[in-house]
Amino acid sequence: MQAVEKNAKEVVLEKLNKKPLIISGPCSAETEAQVIETAQRLANTGKVDMLRAGIWKPRTRPGSFEGIGTKGLPWLQQAKKLTGLPTTVEVATAKQTEDALHFDVDMLWIGARTTVNPFSVQEVADALRGADVPVLIKNPINPDLELWTGAVERVAKAGIKKIGLIHRGFSSYGNTDYRNAPMWHLAIEMKRRNPELIMINDPSHICGRRDILLEVAQKAIDLDYDGLMIESHIDPDNAWSDAKQQVTPEKLAEMLDAIVWRKEDVNSEAFHAALEKLRQQINHLDDEMMQLLSQRMKLAEKIGQYKKENNITILQTSRWNEILERAFVRGEKIGLGKEFITKYFDAVHMESINHQNKIMNA
Ligand code: PEP
Ligand code: MN
């Protein structure tokens, strides 16, 4: 008995060290037959490492399907028995955590709506104390790396050894192309701060629709993510939750085949030499750009001095508009997008204002 259990834990750890790690399954477990058929069809693709299913569903508005609850856990046990796929579910309370562990769920994840709430994360962490189970932590719904980090720390302090991250995008008001804007830079920064944690991408909840799943998954792979969690359903259009973003197991397999899997590295001296040369050029340009920016700030300080002497405001909207318009026109000619120009000049402008502020209020 002991030996068998140890084996199951080893299998899961092995999967977690595999790259890419592919996790798939329905947004929600709905019926035993649905869970088992999904698992079998996923297993048949030979491309999926773990089975996911939501048992308790945090829905934004009441009245929609809020998960089958604990009675769905034995279905997952059965699916694992039939297919060999280890299982993973989302937990948000102590009771859910205890139940999931009681029914041998192999890995747990903390959802975006839980990561935002330190009370809830702590409650789950306390329930995890003493458990030997990997835990993945989704980014919080709002773009706040400290909350994400705090959740990692709470779970780590509970003694959980294997922790990973899931990037599922960040919510914003109004309609956008995405259900949750990816804000890739935040996930990249989180990866930079925590190189020892695996980073999984969840295209399903980023996209909220099927047609752009592949594009987002490819981008994640290009950014060296460790794996993907993608929702799949035997009858996506009639899924009880997140119908628009789910795909059949067979469609998932097609998508995984369409992805160009990149390596982080190759053992070729010529490749490394060429890369090194280009990287040196980039470093050189970065140095130059910083030097130029520093010069630009010195000019801004001089202007600040004049403004101070003549008692004029720092911000002059018409001048700011002129700078931006000029930059858009030039940017378009040399292949720099409007969004980038706006972000870049916003940052430069703010730094200029800070420099002038110092001079004027010295
Ligand atoms: C889910 O994975 O089904 C889910 C509820 O995701 P999130 O926490 O990203 O909203
Ligand atoms: Mn979902």
Across the chain, which has 362 residues, the per-10-residue mean pLDDT values are 69 93 98 98 98 94 92 98 98 98 98 98 98 98 97 98 98 87 96 96 98 97 96 98 97 98 83 92 94 94 90 83 92 93 93 90 84
Cβ-based neighbour number of residue 188 at 10 Å = 14
Range(s) of the domain holding residue 317? 269-360
Kindly state if the Cβ of 54 falls inside 6 Å of ligand 1.
Answer: yes
Are residues 291 and 145 part of one domain?
A: no
Domain total in the chain = 2
Give the sign of the dihedral formed by CA 14, CA 17, CA 20, CA 25.
Answer: positive
Are residues 251 and 338 part of one domain?
A: no
Nearest CA to ligand 1 atom 2: 27
Are residues 149 and 10 part of one domain?
A: yes
Residue of 205, 216, 231, 233 to test ligand 1 pocket, by largest number of atoms within 8 Å of CB: 205
Nearest CA to ligand 1 atom 6: 111
CATH number at residue 336: 1.20.59.10
Q: How far is the CA of 111 from the centre of ligand 1 (A)?
A: 5
Are residues 135 and 27 part of one domain?
A: yes
Rounded-to-integer distance, Cα 202 and Cα 206, Å? 7
Amino acid at 59: R
Nearest CA to ligand 1 atom 1: 27
Domain end residue (candidates: 218, 233, 258): 258
Total-model pTM:
0.84
Two structure tokens written together for 107: 């890995």
* Residue 264: inside a domain: no
Nearest CA to ligand 1 atom 3: 27
Residue 172 has a pLDDT of 84
Are residues 191 and 168 part of one domain?
A: yes
Are residues 306 and 246 part of one domain?
A: no
Are residues 50 and 171 part of one domain?
A: yes
Are residues 306 and 212 part of one domain?
A: no
Residues 137, 140, 146, CA angle at the centre, nearest 5°?
A: 90
CATH number at residue 183: 3.20.20.70
